[in-house]
Structure 1
Amino acid sequence: MTNSAPHDALPPDGQMPSDEELDRLWAPWTPSEVTERLAHVRAPWCVAGGWAIDLYLGGTPRLHADIEIAVPRQAFPEIVHALPGFQWDVAGAGRLWPYAVAGKHPDLHQTWCRDPASGRYHLDVFREPHTRGRWVCRRDPSITLPYDEVIGHRDGMPYLVPEVALLFKARRTDARDHDDFARAAPQLTDTARNRLAGWITRLYPDHVWLGQLADAP
């Protein structure tokens, strides 16, 4: 599961759970359950990460250790309001802080929803940059799209379109990221493929995916 952020100027202290502890603590909801719980949220939000690729492709999903959604940063209170009784922790650089301590830090965007009774995490909310009703890429603010081009739908479940989901995966490229790319790339539209190739060229000009995008049918 993702837990990354710049190490400089982070809030002091913070818990540093091991990967084994996090595996035990996560009990992720499914996309359908998240959609049901957030049914009354008016802000644009969508399932992100590997689940977004699975929703785009349809069929049987791969195994997922967590579930992530993206929402405009200023609209995060709507998500909190829709999930009463839960608590929130901010994750980054392998650490966890209470939202009250680190929620306003500009370099920390991952926000984990925790059941205070069990201590289990159910949802990771990415609080994303935005301006004038448009999504803005936090890694390059010149990359921006209107929300109706950022969000697709499968059976009523909103998901991050694959070219955006894969752009974020391009930075890490562990085995799951390569697998998600291999499954999604042949199914991309020409527009999505050209967007992704252009964005990766700008951010990661030597990335191995660029050759595969150029060779895709």
Structure 2
Amino acid sequence: MTAQDLGRWEPASPNEVRELMAAVDAPWWIAGGYAIEFAVGEPFREHADIDILLLRRDQLAAQQALPGWEWWAADPPGVLRPWAVGEILPARVHDVWCRPSADAPWRLQFMLDESDGEDWVSRHHPRIRRPLKDIGFVNADGIPYLAPEIQLMYKANGARPKDELDFAAMLPKLEAPQRRWLREAMALAYGERPWMARLAD
């Protein structure tokens, strides 16, 4: 499936994600722009999709929890192809799109990330890690979401306009330890990035 015929998105709401993921016997976190919005504490931009972070080791747990859905893996350099039931995706695949049926809009996007025992490990550098229990929060509606400094680290590489909006909204709310962690993680993952100077304590 190419960029010309990807189909339309009607992303699930975070509350719908919580309901859909209730049967998943593995940790997961809302990621992307919604994670930043939850950390900021109020909506500040629209969302074209919804991202869910899942550990690579748990990839089949979500697939098994939504039987009958269509699953498509984003195989670099960006071609979507069907993800077969029970298939273990190769390490190069980080994104998975899914929808209830072939004629339905896309509802969920899963981001697969790495782990080592009880640690989350960034796919960008093995030294960027933290205990799994410390990589996220739970909002008032009981929805787990990724810690904002981790989400911003991933956004820093491309820094699209929506990423700049997210960074600007979150920057005043980042505490000193979060700023230091983000600077150090960006340096390991990408080298110098424009956001670093704005993260001074």
**TM-score where L is the length of structure 1:** 0.85
> What's 1:46 paired with?
29
**Post-superposition shift, 1:103?**
5.2
Q: 2:123 aligns with which of 125, 128, 138?
A: 138
> What's 1:4 paired with?
none
> What's 1:193 paired with?
179
**TM-score where L is the length of structure 2:** 0.91
> What's 1:213 paired with?
199
Between 35-44 and 171-180, the greater mean CA deviation after superposition: 35-44
| 5+ long unaligned stretches in structure 1 | 1-14
Q: 2:101 aligns with which of 96, 112, 116?
A: 116
Measured in 1, the distance between the counterparts of 2:23 and 2:82 equals 26
Q: Contact 1:90/1:103 (CA < 8 Å) preserved in 2? A: no
Between 125-134 and 168-177, the greater mean CA deviation after superposition: 125-134
**Post-superposition shift, 1:148?**
1.3
Q: Contact 2:96/2:111 (CA < 8 Å) preserved in 1? A: yes
| 5+ long unaligned stretches in structure 2 | none
**Post-superposition shift, 1:203?**
2.6
Letter in 2 for 1:96: L
Measured in 2, the distance between the counterparts of 1:42 and 1:117 equals 26
Measured in 1, the distance between the counterparts of 2:63 and 2:189 equals 33
Q: Report the aligned-residue RMSD.
A: 1.8
Measured in 1, the distance between the counterparts of 2:44 and 2:26 equals 26
Q: 2:82 aligns with which of 98, 104, 128?
A: 98
Letter in 2 for 1:26: W
> What's 1:5 paired with?
none
Measured in 2, the distance between the counterparts of 1:86 and 1:16 equals 20
The alignment-based identity, stated in percent, is 35
> What's 2:70 paired with?
87
Measured in 2, the distance between the counterparts of 1:103 and 1:121 equals 21
Residues matched between the structures, number: 198
Runs of 4+ in 1 over 4 A off after TM superposition: none
Cα 1:109–1:204 change in 2 (3 A) is closer
**1:73 pairs with 2:56:** yes
Letter in 2 for 1:77: L
> What's 1:63 paired with?
46
